[in-house]
Chain A
Amino acid sequence: GAVVSQHPSRVICKSGTSVKIECRSLDFQATTMFWYRQFPKQSLMLMATSNEGSKATYEQGVEKDKFLINHASLTLSTLTVTSAHPEDSSFYICSAVGGLETQYFGPGTRLLVL
């Protein structure tokens, strides 16, 4: 079946640094990928829609200059959290749209900003 990977699975960083999270569709091409965020004991919330070859579309309240998304190829989207702060600590999950418009989810990346 379709597989989506994320790297890293877990990252701890100091406040003020930038962190890049990769989302890869391993055995299919995905023109669309989604980035979601989940705070503790809360549901997942869509952050942005990433389309290959074009600018990402951000949800209201998500700062595009802080959460940089690059969908450079049909199998890779990256989310960079710039100048991370403790309140950015969260669980970030991507999904990729594959055949029959099915969404396949990555395993997630847990970010802790100290």
Chain B
Amino acid sequence: KNEVEQSPQNLTAQEGEFITINCSYSVGISALHWLQQHPGGGIVSLFMLSSGKKKHGRLIATINIQEKHSSLHITASHPRDSAVYICAVGEAGNMLTFGGGTRLMVKP
């Protein structure tokens, strides 16, 4: 069974700061997801990664397959980025194992 660890669990930042959230997993995978969950509970899939790096707007996700580690970066953070960010791993098209989530609050 894959163990997925996220850090930090909670993060408070000032608007404009650069933010990094980390995810480590124990068993090799073919797909890693970064998800965003807002207070209402709905989940938005931000990225699905199998290698390298992806960028979408102010969000950047990287993965190091050898080290079993991924990071999610937010540049020029904004209060609307406040949410829970969840890392999930698994085989592509198969069930996912979720990390505990990182609760981010960005203050104006």
Q: Which residues of B contact A105 (CB under 8 A)?
A: 35, 43-45
| A29 interfacial contact with B, CB 8 Å | no
Q: Contact check, A43 vs B98: say whether CB atoms are below 8 A apart.
A: yes
Q: Contact check, A101 vs B92: say whether CB atoms are below 8 A apart.
A: yes
CB distance from B45 to the nearest CB of A (A): 6
Q: How far is the CA of A23 from the CA of B33 in the complex (A)?
A: 20
Q: Contacting A107 at CB < 8 Å: which of B33, B43, B95, B97?
A: B43
Q: Contact check, A45 vs B45: say whether CB atoms are below 8 A apart.
A: no
Q: Contacting A46 at CB < 8 Å: which of B96, B99, B101?
A: B96
| A110 interfacial contact with B, CB 8 Å | yes
Which of B31, B44, B48, B95 gathers the greatest number of chain A CB atoms within 10 Å? Answer: B95
Q: Which residues of A contact B94 (CB under 8 A)?
A: 101
Q: How far is the CA of A97 from the CA of B96 in the complex (A)?
A: 11
Q: Contact check, A110 vs B41: say whether CB atoms are below 8 A apart.
A: yes
CB distance from A66 to the nearest CB of B (A): 20
Which of B33, B44, B45, B92 gathers the greatest number of chain A CB atoms within 10 Å? Answer: B45
Q: Which residues of B contact A100 (CB under 8 A)?
A: 92
Q: How far is the CA of A34 from the CA of B88 in the complex (A)?
A: 14
Q: Contact check, A104 vs B45: say whether CB atoms are below 8 A apart.
A: yes
Q: Provided the pairs A49-B95, A103-B96 are in contact, do residues A43 and B101 lie with their beta carbons within 8 angstroms? A: yes
Q: Which 9 A-B pairs have the closest CB atoms?
A: A101-B93, A101-B92, A107-B42, A105-B43, A43-B98, A44-B98, A97-B93, A108-B41, A43-B100
